[in-house]
Amino acid sequence: MRALQIAATGMSAQQTRVEVISNNLANMSTTGYNARRAEFSDLYYQQAVRPGTLTSTEGTMVPAGVQLGLGVRPTAVTVQLQQGSLTQTNGDLDVAIDGNGYLEITLPSGISAYTRDGSLKRSADGQIVTNDGYPVAPGITIPADAASVAISPNGEVLAFFNDQVDPQNLGQFSLATFVNEKGLEATGGNLFLETPASGPAQVANPGEQGLGTLRAGYLEESSVDPVREITELIKAQRGYELNSKVITAADQMLGATVQIR
């Protein structure tokens, strides 16, 4: 009774789909989050009669054959690359990337990570860091006596002092992009790591080489569409229920077979 195993793979696939949808809905308010989508493909086929099999010595052959599918399997959970809307916060260290690119973050291990979460903070020693305390490359430190800070669209960080007319340039943020952004490895904390599938990071200043610019005082909202996610959730639920009914029907058929005397 192959239907039992086939329907079981269908239920497992729909469960994976629901898990991805639930993660999207959980991150509706996560800064810079992009929705994920589960993708599937059919499993191997049992070739009971192969197409093109000869049926006579005259050369006649089977036009279609008998190929029995064995179910479905998940192939990928891909990121839907779509910029979220920009919300004004008026925070002096809040920046949104308007266009392509990722901010480069230096992890405690020395490895570079990448993020679109621009809700930056100032550490105890004045360094610009993420919410988790990781410094943003190239490691800019704000002097303690700075009255205010401004970030230009091209990434320059300017500090203003009460006793100076002209601002002081503290450094410039750079942005990174990848040939295959969907190949980045998500590690949590709004961070991504470079992988062989993503290709090496290509770093340049904001506004150059097709990169976006920085908008100070703004944050990028999540790109999750709640209405679409609820629709996908309903479809996944219906698919799960239909596969469960197949198992019920196959079980009843198997029971009828056992009771034959």
What domain count does the chain have? 2
User: Looking at the structure, do residues 209 and 237 belong to the same domain, yes or no?
Assistant: no
Domain that holds residue 132: 86-220
16 and 38 together in one domain: yes
Q: Taking the model in full, what pTM does it have?
A: 0.83
CA 209 to chain centre: 23
Are residues 245 and 120 part of one domain? no
**What's the average model confidence in pLDDT over 125-144?**
91
- Do residues 109 and 208 share a domain? yes
- Residue 261: which pLDDT band, with cuts at 50, 70 and 90? low
Q: For residues 117 and 50, what is the distance between their CA atoms, to the nearest angstrom?
A: 53
Query: Is the same domain home to 99 and 128?
Result: yes
Same domain, yes or no: 32 and 148: no
Are residue 102 and residue 211 in the same domain, yes or no? yes
Mean pLDDT of the chain: 89
Mean pLDDT in residue range 148-170: 89
Claim to verify: residue 97 and residue 72 sit in the same structural domain: no
Statement: residue 66 has pLDDT above 90: no
Tell me the CA end-to-end span of the chain in Å, nearest whole number: 19
Q: What is the pLDDT of residue 141?
A: 92
* 167 and 98 inside one domain: yes
Q: Give the type of residue at 6.
A: I
